[in-house]
């Protein structure tokens, strides 16, 4: 439960961020818990995240502003591990460095600035610009379908701190207007709710053939999935070594065959 000081401070900050939202940022507290805030970062121009819809949470401690919030981004971005606490100077990883004068807007501006940099920390991942642009094109679909876990009944199973599998229920409850816009966008662009891919114009939604990927939403060749299911810990992009083996499997196979033939010849020439 929030302390009186935290409640008063967060109420005042909500009013301020409504009246003067920072560029590319909107945020509000949950109706049921003022310590749980939900934000949307819109990817700024001249970045791989341009026009992406990045949803996340700030979980404030009861003694805020004398301690910082836990920061998570739930939407897969190719920059952060989804639904994973981020180690930033403005997050709960560094309570001693937090300045009580910093506000919600300060925290989110700092998060957006860090996102558009290449600095690495706990909770961040490496990806190419092409992979991040591919993830950007799927952000609306991911938010409103829970990463493809949406069903016709509209029901899903939510587990833990906002993960794929809830059918987009948590996003829909916090951002109902954005959710309606996202579904309209998916209908207009014939996005398959189950896969996030552009459907073949010759088939109808729900068809077993309604999964032909569109060029704009196709994962870059040779890359690992970064916008599917949310992961706990671990990398959302596959390990570099495993990716190299996959891309160069023919070369590896040739080297194995060559080594086998060479050893056989050496053994055959022996006494």
Catalytic site residues?
87
CA 14-147-22 angle, 5° bins = 25
**CB-hemisphere CA count at 13 Å for 31?**
4
Report in angstroms the alpha-carbon separations of 26 from 112, 160, 163. 12, 24, 21
- End-to-end distance of the chain based on CA atoms, in angstroms? 83
Residues 6+ apart with CB under 8 A from 69: 37, 58, 59, 60, 61, 91, 92, 107
Residues 6+ apart with CB under 8 A from 214: 197, 198
Q: Retrieve residue 175's tokens.
A: 């951002």
């Amino acid at each position: 439960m929030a302390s009186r000081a935290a409640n008063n401070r967060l109420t005042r900050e909500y009013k301020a961020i409504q009246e003067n939202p920072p560029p590319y940022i909107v945020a509000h507290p949950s109706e049921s818990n003022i310590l749980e805030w939900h934000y949307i970062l819109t990817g700024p121009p001249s970045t791989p995240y341009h026009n992406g819809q990045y949803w996340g949470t700030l979980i404030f401690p009861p003694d805020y502003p004398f301690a910082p919030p836990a920061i998570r981004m739930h939407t897969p971005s190719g920059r952060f591990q989804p639904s994973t606490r981020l180690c930033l100077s403005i997050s709960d990883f560094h309570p001693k460095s937090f300045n009580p004068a910093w506000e919600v807007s300060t925290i989110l501006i700092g998060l957006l600035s860090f996102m558009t940099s290449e600095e690495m920390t706990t909770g961040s991942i490496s990806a190419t610009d092409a992979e991040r642009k591919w993830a950007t094109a799927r952000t609306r679909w991911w938010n409103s379908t829970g990463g493809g876990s949406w069903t016709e009944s509209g029901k899903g199973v939510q587990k833990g701190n906002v993960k794929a599998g809830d059918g987009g229920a948590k996003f829909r409850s916090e951002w109902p207007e954005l959710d309606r816009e996202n579904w309209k966008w998916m209908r207009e662009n014939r996005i398959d709710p189950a896969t996030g891919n552009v459907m073949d114009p010759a088939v109808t939604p729900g068809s077993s053939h309604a999964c032909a990927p569109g060029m704009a939403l196709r994962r870059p060749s040779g890359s690992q999935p970064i916008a599917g299911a949310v992961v706990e810990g671990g990398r959302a992009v596959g390990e570099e070594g495993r990716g190299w083996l996959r891309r160069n499997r023919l070369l590896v196979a040739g080297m194995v065959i060559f080594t086998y033939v060479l050893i056989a010849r050496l053994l055959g020439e022996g006494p």
